[in-house]
Amino acid sequence: MNQRVDYAELFGVAPLAPREFEQIRQLAYRTFGLDLKSGKEELVSARLRKLVREGAYHSFQDYYQGVVDDRTGKSLLAMIDALATNHTSFLREPDHFEFLRTQVVPELSRRDPVEIWCAACSTGEEVWTLGMVLTEAMPGRRIHINASDISNKALRSAQRAVYPVARCQGVPPAWMSRYFVPDALPASAYQVSPTLRALASFRRVNLVESCNWPQQFPVIFCRNVMIYFDSPTQEKVVAGLSAHLEPGGYLFVGHAESLARVSHSLEYVKPAVYRKPLKEGKWNK
């Protein structure tokens, strides 16, 4: 029997009504671009029920009102933390890192430091993968990864950089010994080494708003976040990312995120890799 369980109801909160779903959907869309399609009611109910209970609200309507009325913005941040999908892993979509190593790094041969942006970095696995790949590919050079996400919770995990053994499965053993230290003995979790951690800085950036980095980057990774946005939001986000790319710079998006239906000014390089056109036919290396 496939019976639908409403977890909020289970914990004494009235089930999420269609009107409440619509209010939360609109708030999430307005504030961070999340496109919650119809059919996501159960997901919203499951992800927000803890906040509803913790705030001692009797209904999702009360909870919604509480978020809107909270002038500190803390409730909204907690809602974003709860609704955002943080799934990620080390060396996810590995051909991107191979392309970076074999095609992009040689083009950056005269740069020192090399500074890139990892947007929507979630809990950090992508940031540390970039750190390892670039350290291996350009030994001795200064590398800096500007990492960002909208979720403070994800950013805290990324900065702490502690991962259970199971999450490190995809990392080659040689890199495990070079770039990780056991977090506890016997090792059930590992922490990224201080040297690798020193390559990254973290900040909260909502891609739907303007990002205000003072510089442009030769490489931006922004993967597996645009799938949660509708086309007008994707277009706006890609325009913001493009503005922060140097002419000739590369944008990596997730493989499920073709920009085919979005109007943009970038050149297609290969699946999920785009490049800002060069101004004078030459990259400022």
- What are the residues binding ligand SAM (CB under 6 A)? 32-33, 84-88, 92, 120-122, 126, 149-151, 154, 205-208, 223-225, 228, 254
Which residue's CB comes closest to ligand SAM?
Answer: 88
CB of 155 to ligand SAM, least distance (A): 9
Could you tell me if 79 and 51 are in contact, meaning their C-beta atoms sit under 8 angstroms apart? Answer: yes
CB of 190 to ligand SAM, least distance (A): 18
Dihedral sign (CA 135, 137, 139, 145): negative
CB of 284 to ligand SAM, least distance (A): 27
Q: Which is nearer to ligand SAM, 33 or 248 (CB)?
A: 33
Q: Which is nearer to ligand SAM, 57 or 96 (CB)?
A: 96
Residue whose C-alpha is closest to residue 164's, from 129, 133, 190, 141:
190
CB of 244 to ligand SAM, least distance (A): 13
Could you tell me if 20 and 59 are in contact, meaning their C-beta atoms sit under 8 angstroms apart? Answer: yes
Cα 238 from Cα 240, distance rounded (Å): 5
Residue whose C-alpha is closest to residue 241's, from 144, 116, 127, 102:
116
Q: Which is nearer to ligand SAM, 119 or 137 (CB)?
A: 119
Q: Which is nearer to ligand SAM, 8 or 118 (CB)?
A: 118
Q: For residue 235, what is the DSSP state?
A: H
